[in-house]
Amino acid sequence: MAEVEIGRGKRGREAYAFDDVAIVPSRRTRDPEEVSTHWQIDAYRFDTPLIAAPMDSVMSPATAIALGRAGGLGVLDLEGLWTRYEDPEPLLEEIAGLEEGKALTRLQDIYSQPVREDLIAQRLSEIRNAGVTVAGSLSPQRVKRHYQAVIDGGVDLFVIRGTTVSAEHVSGQAEPLNLKQFIYELDVPVLVGGCATYQAALHLMRTGAAGVLVGFGGGAAHTTRSVLGVTVPMATAVADVAAARRDYLDESGGRYVHVVADGSIRQSGDIAKAIACGADAVMVGSPLARAMEAPGRGWHWGSESHHPSLPRGERMWVGTVAPLEQILHGPSFVADGAMNLIGALQRAMSTTGYTELKEFQRVEVTILR
C-alpha cells in the first residue's frame, strides 16, 4: 500500500476503518436460509462466529452460559470481579449507580482486591457444568501467575488478551513470558492478541497460537487513542493479518491460524465487514453489553478503565435494548444494526451470493470517499 507524506520528515500508510469500506453485491444471490455462519477452531464448533469480549460489563458465568447455548462463545475475564469477590452482584449494582465524576476512582478501588485462584476454578466449573465450551482470559502480565489455576479449572479455550501483545516482549525488570514455550506446553488452544500489523501477527502465529486477536484501542469504552495516541483502522488491520495467515499457511505447510477481529464492532454491519476483510470471527463487547442479561446493567467498561496508574477507558452508557437471544437472532424492532446480529450477517452473505464464511472472505469491497 502506498505511503502518503504527512510532512517533509514523516510518511505513513493510508489505512481504513470499517466505516471507510462497504461490501459490494455480486451477480449471484442466495436465500438467507441456505447460509451457514458456523465456524470451528480446533475441536470446537460454533453456530455463530461471535465471541463475547472478556469484560465484566458483558460476561458473567451466567451470560457466558447463555451465549454458549445461543451458538456463540463467552469468554470470562479471569481477573475481573467474578474472580475477586464471592458475590460481585452488589458491586455491579453499585457501579451502575455511580455518579459520573466518581466512577473512575471507585472502579480503581473495587478492582484493587486481589484475584483468587479458588474463584477462578469455581467460575470455570460453573460454566463447564452447564455443558458449553469454557473460555477464560488473562492479561499477559498475569498469565504466569494464574495460568495453572485456569488449566486446573478445566478451560477449553484460553485467551491471552491485552492492549497489544507481542511474541517478543523485552523487559529489563522481570523475566518476560516466553509465549512460544508457554503455548507449546499447554494442552488447550490459545487465542492471543491484540495485534494490528502483518509482521506482529506473523510472529504470533509462529508461537503456535490457534487464533490471533486483531486490534487495540478501538473499543467503544477505550480511550487508548486519546491517552496513548495509539489506535488502528480495523479494516486495514484485519486485511493485513489475514495476509499473514495466508503466508503462514504456506510457511507452516498447512497450519491454519484463525483471525478474530477485536475492536470497533458496534453494529451488525461491522461484523459482516470484518469477515469480508478476512476475519474468521469477531470479538464484541458493547453490542452484547446492551442485553437485558448483561452484568453491566446498561453500562459498559473494560479492564483499561480501572488501571491503577494510567486508565485508558471509561464507564459509558450503552443502554439496554433487548434480551441476548433477540440481539443475536432477532427479530429486530430497530433499524440501526443493534439487534439480530447473526440474521444481518446471513442477509449480507446471501445478498452477495455466499453460503460459507470462508467463501465470504473473498467478497469484493469498495472504499467510501
Closest CA to 218 of 142, 286, 294: 286
Contact predicate 360/276, CB 8 Å: yes
pLDDT tens track for 6-48: 998 999 889 999 999 999 998 889 998 999 999 999 999 999 9
Closest CA to 52 of 208, 281, 236: 281
Between 158 and 231, the higher pLDDT residue: 158
Per-residue pLDDT at 236:
96
Contact predicate 238/278, CB 8 Å: yes
Q: Is the dihedral of CA 30, 33, 39, 40 positive or negative?
A: negative
Residue listed under C-alpha cell 495453572: 148
Whether 73 has a pLDDT exceeding 60, the answer reads: yes
Contact predicate 367/291, CB 8 Å: no
Per-residue pLDDT at 178:
79
Closest CA to 132 of 72, 82, 54: 72
Per-residue pLDDT at 169:
46
Q: How confident is the model at residue 3 (pLDDT cuts 50, 70, 90)?
A: confident
Contact predicate 126/100, CB 8 Å: no
Q: How confident is the model at residue 293 (pLDDT cuts 50, 70, 90)?
A: very high
Q: How confident is the model at residue 216 (pLDDT cuts 50, 70, 90)?
A: confident
Backbone φ and ψ for 113, nearest 5 degrees, come out as -65, 135
Rounded average pLDDT over 247-265? 96
Per-residue pLDDT at 179:
84
Rounded average pLDDT over 358-368? 96
Model pTM score:
0.93
Q: Which CATH number fits domain 21-367: 2.102.10.10, 3.40.50.10320, 3.20.20.70, 3.40.50.150?
A: 3.20.20.70
Q: How confident is the model at residue 171 (pLDDT cuts 50, 70, 90)?
A: very low
Domain chopping of the chain, boundaries: 21-367
Per-residue pLDDT at 64:
98
